[in-house]
Amino acid sequence: MCSLTSQGTGKETEETNLLQQLSDACLVVDALEPSVREELVNNFCRRELTSYEQIFEGAELAKLDKTERRYAWIKRRIRTNEEIFKIFPPSWHVPYLLNIQFCKKTRKQLEGILDNLTERPDVGTLLLALQRTIEFEDELAEKFGGDSRSSEIGLDIEEIGRPENNRQNVSDIRKKYERKLAANQGNSTEEKDGNKDLSVPGAGFNFRRIISSCFEPHLTAYVELEERTLMENLEKLVQEETWDIEEGSQNNVLHSSTEVSIRTYIMILIILHVMCCTLVDLD
């Protein structure tokens, strides 16, 4: 038993005979009470993630712009230890359970980073961290089963800010999201039930939003603050306008540069509103 739990310390051996002995030992454990297996797997996962917690709690990597490196770490860890994972019977679902623990620890650490920010984060850094997180969750949902609509929603969030989409009618954008949410909502229950294995602790776990939802309060606050700032600038721009009057006309006419600025501000406000509504739909 000690030999099994010690495999998660990062000093794994690749000797075939030892791996076979450990694999045989797992068959013995499988014949015991399920609680023995659960304790063994939990200890293994905890040891596997010990170095992760230590690395990403350090000052250098405990930053929002290092979020993507977290997901690269767990992928590399699983790939590197592929032979070690073969020790365990497939019915134990060790990689699945390891990823569940990883997601929970990652969410806790990211919540701490976001809550302890002394100033508003750069929007590019914030959105990139969110996008990479959504992509990672979707990979897990596709690999282990569960609701995978996060990739569509994640891409939609990214598309909102693209200039070529600014010309699209806002109601059309809104309707597109509503259709996607409605279409996927009916499938999520069937997918989760179909992938559920009651013999596995954590069966039916939904990876969607398990990490990314911790970004939502901070994104909403950012959108609201940007909206207030834009409104203040818009009001100031209108107040400073001289409103030239064309000859032979009673109508006030904006300077072309001012008109462009106002149109830009209004379009940005519309985009921010759509983003905020999308976040609400994700709740």
Q: Is residue 240 part of a domain?
A: no
Per-residue HEC secondary structure of 79-133 comes to HHCHHHHCCCCHHHCHHHHHHHHHHHHHHHHHHHHHHCCCCCCCHHHHHHHHHHH
Q: Is residue 103 part of a domain?
A: no
The token pair that represents 172 in the structure block: 């059309």
Among positive and negative, which fits the CA dihedral 247, 252, 258, 259? negative
Percent of the chain with pLDDT over 90: 30
Q: Is residue 279 part of a domain?
A: no
| pLDDT, tens only, 4-56 | 555 555 444 456 788 888 888 988 988 888 899 999 999 999 999 999 999 99
The span from the CA of 134 to the CA of 138, in Å, is 6
The span from the CA of 154 to the CA of 158, in Å, is 7
Q: Is residue 167 part of a domain?
A: no
Q: Is residue 175 part of a domain?
A: no
- Total domains, the chain: 1
Residue 128: burial class (beta carbons within 10 Å; 0-12, 13-18, 19+): middle
Side-chain half-sphere CA neighbours of 228 within 13 A: 5
- Judge whether 180 and 159 are in contact, CB under 8 Å: no
Residues constituting the chain: 283
Q: What is the mean pLDDT of residues 110-131?
A: 87
Q: Where are the alpha helices (DSSP H) in 116-215?
A: 123-144, 150-160, 170-194
Question: Range of 2's domain?
Answer: 1-89
The span from the CA of 170 to the CA of 13, in Å, is 58
Q: How confident is the model at residue 131 (pLDDT cuts 50, 70, 90)?
A: very high
**H or E segment to which residue 225 belongs:** helix 216-240
For residue 188, pLDDT over 50 is answered with: no
Query: Which range has highest mean pLDDT (59-63, 131-135, 157-161)?
Result: 131-135
For residue 101, pLDDT over 90 is answered with: yes
Taking all residues of the chain, what is their mean pLDDT, rounded to a whole number? 73
The span from the CA of 187 to the CA of 132, in Å, is 24
**H or E segment to which residue 252 belongs:** strand 252-253
What residue has token string 């969110």?
130
The token pair that represents 189 in the structure block: 């229950």
- Judge whether 109 and 44 are in contact, CB under 8 Å: no
Q: Is residue 42 part of a domain?
A: yes
pTM value is 0.62
Residue bearing the bigger pLDDT, 165 or 216 = 216
Side-chain half-sphere CA neighbours of 26 within 13 A: 24
Q: Is residue 84 part of a domain?
A: yes
Q: How confident is the model at residue 242 (pLDDT cuts 50, 70, 90)?
A: low
Q: Is residue 83 part of a domain?
A: yes
